[in-house]
Every structure is written in structure tokens, then in C-alpha cells.
Amino acid sequence: MNKISTNKAPAAIGPYSQAVKTGNLLFTSGQIALDPATGEIVGATITEQTEQVMKNLGAILEEAGVTYENAVKTVCFLADMNDFATFNEIYGKYFTGKPARSCVAVKTLPKNVLCEVEVIAEI
């Protein structure tokens, strides 16, 4: 297992890695809308936060030598399922290969953000 780390995405805020490679798979930890430089939440809307989540995931994927096109599965968490349509529109701009996906509403996310996304990608 190889750990993946980049300063272009937020540092882990707990005892975990940004991502790990094992075999021909990459597993990212869930990414939220944090600015990698400041550690502060970016944006107050689902649009702003989803865009930042995608930037963070893109930086981790890039560090691992893959792109969104390598994604085989995503897991998406929303604080409010009423944000689904807006989230989905932004998500679709990035995950054009249409990987398998789960998307669920949860009671609370870290730092009270509006969304979180994790990715499994093929290397």
C-alpha cells in the first residue's frame, strides 16, 4: 500500500491519508470544501462547495497519476437532498465517464459542510 499526499488538496484532519494506492486501485478519503492553503471552508452554497470538492479530488487524482476518467466508483454525501440536482450538475462536469455511484443524505458532515465525495479509481 502506498500513501498519496499533495499540498494541492487539504491535509487530512484526522488519522488518515488523502488517498492510498493498493494493487491497481486508488482509494481517496472523502473530500470536503476546504481550501488547501488555509484549511478554511470555501463557499456557503452547494455550488461553491461542490466545485471546491472537485478541485481537491482532482489534485489527489493528479498526484496519483490518474484523472476523473479513471474513476470506477464514487460515494457522495449530501447534508440536504434538496441540493441533489445542483450537486449532480457540477459532479457531471467532472465525472464524464459516469462511474458507479452512491449518493446519500446524512445528518451532519465534518465542519458542517454541504457535501463530501470519495473516489475509487483504477490505476
Residue type, 46: I
Show the domains of the chain with their CATH numbers. Answer: 2-122 (3.30.1330.40)
Phi and psi based region of residue 63 (left: phi greater than 0; alpha: psi -120 to 50; beta: remaining): alpha
pTM, entire model: 0.97
Q: Which of 75, 103, 109, 120 is labelled catalytic? A: 103
Q: What is the pLDDT of residue 13?
A: 79
The helix (run of H) or strand (run of E) holding residue 100 is strand 100-105
DSSP β-bridge partners for residue 77: 104, 116
Identify whether 103 is a catalytic site residue: yes
Low-confidence ranges of the chain (pLDDT < 70): none
Q: How far apart are CA 31 and CA 27, in angstroms?
A: 12
**Which cell goes with 21?**
494506492
